[in-house]
A and B are shown apart, each in its own frame.
Chain A
């Protein structure tokens, strides 16, 4: 009781002073002015890195932004930041008006599984969902996966057809199965077109830091260049910026990942293995609005335009036309199922 006894003692002036605070609190609870609660809405929680990472998160944002323009639906996003509580960010969106909620990145897998069970009426989608054979995907969760190995196969072929030294390199970030997929596809692609080609491999580490260590990336790349590699593909987040730096230093080619990274080192980026995170987000929102959203696993590979490589005005002088011809043939063979690309 005593806790409340002080309350009436507040004089009128003090109570008046509290009023704006009270209203501010109310306003914070009501949705923004653009919000029309009669319409379905989509929310997105970013991975570490957040908007402006020029890669994964930005690509997801492009997808949701395009959906907002095309379908005129309200969207919102949360950037939980370093080590923050992803689960509560998901919960916050789920308890609002958002009918479809995205988690960007494999780190969301467990959190989405938990939150999806608590909000069975809401739909969830997790990009790069980490499949666990012992656990079923909740029915309202769409597990979006990419066949990175297929895109990596093609850039591996480009690398092995471009190298003059018969040696190509691969720099991975964290030593985990997701990154092994890139390596496996790349190696298979390189050896498919050039069986004599050496593939040198290095990983930056075994913790999440391994994706944010450009100095280590540069040393790994320099060491591979020292052993003859003249094209290096990376799948290592910003660690790869160090690979680009080594490529500039020693005048060799690097291959970007996730999004078109040409601008990071113009003239030295042979191509990029792109993951169409934006397309997957856009398609998922469209299905959700059409009422055709289905939970479960959905894989985006070459056939679905979910992965690919960059060949545009920036790098068309770096890659020979006959290389592109060969790679396009390989792409058709993979889509037709004639080439099976290993994923580990």
Chain B
């Protein structure tokens, strides 16, 4: 049942020009950044060699690529998730799901997995380009893999938030704007506290903070739990919202 909905969600996403245009833009931007970073590395290669504990090719090229991917997700994910449930609501197809022998949780799980399939393609695009460096340069595999894990966790949590707003609003555009607002808010929330020495509450809430720590290679259960909790809570609220459609107010 979950698989049926996931397959349908993924197929319908890949049928829209939206998904393909987003994929191509992401690819284009990341490729440009990739080439720029290689250029920068080649320019400063000699100076870097002379420095003790100089940043390696992973820090100079791969980390910025993954960082940029995370920023792109602030824009990409709201657009991808906006129609997921609000589109069904608008077209009246939610009725089909509601009158079928299937629970709200199964609907949400199916929708989420379908979105995840497309996000995995984006993730692979971000992962493959730096991987080509391995042909001729020493890539720090630990930092690279941990960066990829960070990106995947971040995308998963963002997709959860996107799906939640898509369930809340009947207009996809409103869902996208609300998702973008929350994602940008979580990203920027602790900017003002950067100057302070102690990590405050805001830095715990900040997705940038958790992402950066993971991307640097510091795999900490706090950071992993942060993204896992956001995903779980938003999916729970999505199912709760769908149940609310049917329950008397």
Question: Does A pair with B?
Answer: no
Q: Name A's B-contacting residues (CB within 8 A).
A: none
